[in-house]
Amino acid sequence: MEFMLDTADAQAVKELSEIMTIAGVTTNPTIITKSGKTPEQVFDEMNAVLAPEQKFFMQAVATDYDGILEDARRICSLRKNMYVKIPVTHDGMRAIKQAKAEGLNVLATAIYSPDQAFFAAMNGADYLAPYVNRMCNYGDGVQWVRELEEMLELNQLPAQICAASFKNGNQVHELIVAGVGAVTVAPDVVRGMLDHPGTQIAVNEFTEAWEGAFGRRTFA
Ligand code: E4P
């Protein structure tokens, strides 16, 4: 599976990429505007910390078909392994078809139901981003993603689910257990999953025991 970071914070990507295996980084217009940086700055900073094989996702901002496609072509030309995120509006769905016909890398986003995701997969989208936490306002978001997995498998559609919009580590955990292909998670939620106070307590116990017995804090 692929674990991605949902952020415009390049420093957080650099730090977490050093200690985890991060397949890529997703952003959206809200994440970029909240960062206080221009999209160009966000791209440059992210491009500087990402390895060439790590994927980077930026979203089309135009909402009409021609505008979405123009944004998509521009975004995908920025670097290798660059993906455009396209919301699954009517114009967006149409643009996904055309973007795929042009060979662009596409993630269908702002997905609130398994059916929307399924139609985007039929249009050739590479990734589908169901908004898990937001879907929970309308039903069981985690269960809907499980159903989507089945729908894709039964119909042999190659699109990968990149589950998004998580508010806590348990939502992420449940989808990893369900075998989801990819998740994108904000750094603060990732840190909540990564850290446990018991780990440091255990390490302190080991160090104290070793030092007490051998008078040193290294193996040899
Ligand atoms: C990811 O690609 C989505 O844009 C993002 O996870 C949406 O998250 P939000 O519900 O916190 O805005």
pLDDT at residue 136, as a whole number? 87
- Give the model confidence (pLDDT) of 109-133 as tens digits: 999 999 999 999 999 999 999 999 9
Among 13, 14, 6, 97, smallest CA distance to 58 is for 6
Q: Which of 14, 34, 37, 85 is catalytic?
A: 85
- Measured by CA distance, the residue closest to atom 8 of ligand 1 is 165
* Ligand 1 within 6 A of CB of 136: no
Average pLDDT of 57-81? 98
pLDDT at residue 201, as a whole number? 98
- Give the model confidence (pLDDT) of 16-52 as tens digits: 999 999 999 999 999 999 999 999 999 999 999 999 9
pLDDT at residue 14, as a whole number? 98
- Measured by CA distance, the residue closest to atom 7 of ligand 1 is 165
pLDDT at residue 8, as a whole number? 98
Among 144, 68, 92, 152, smallest CA distance to 118 is for 152
Report the atom number in ligand 1 closest to the C-alpha of 85: 2
> Amino acid letter at 116?
Q
Pick from 31, 127, 171 the residue to mutate for probing ligand 1's pocket: most ligand atoms within 8 Å of its CB: 31
CA pair distance 93, 199, nearest whole angstrom: 46
pLDDT more than 90, % of the chain: 98
Pick from 42, 131, 189 the residue to mutate for probing ligand 1's pocket: most ligand atoms within 8 Å of its CB: 131
- Tell me what the pLDDT averaged over the chain comes to: 97
- What are 172's two structure tokens? 């992420």
Report the atom number in ligand 1 closest to the C-alpha of 57: 2
Task: Give the distance (Å) from ligand 1 centre to CA of residue 134.
Answer: 9
Task: Give the distance (Å) from ligand 1 centre to CA of residue 12.
Answer: 17
- Measured by CA distance, the residue closest to atom 9 of ligand 1 is 165
85 is catalytic: yes
pLDDT at residue 97, as a whole number? 98
Task: Give the distance (Å) from ligand 1 centre to CA of residue 201.
Answer: 34
- Measured by CA distance, the residue closest to atom 4 of ligand 1 is 28
- Give the model confidence (pLDDT) of 93-111 as tens digits: 999 999 999 999 999 999 9
- Give the model confidence (pLDDT) of 138-166 as tens digits: 989 999 999 999 999 999 999 999 999 99
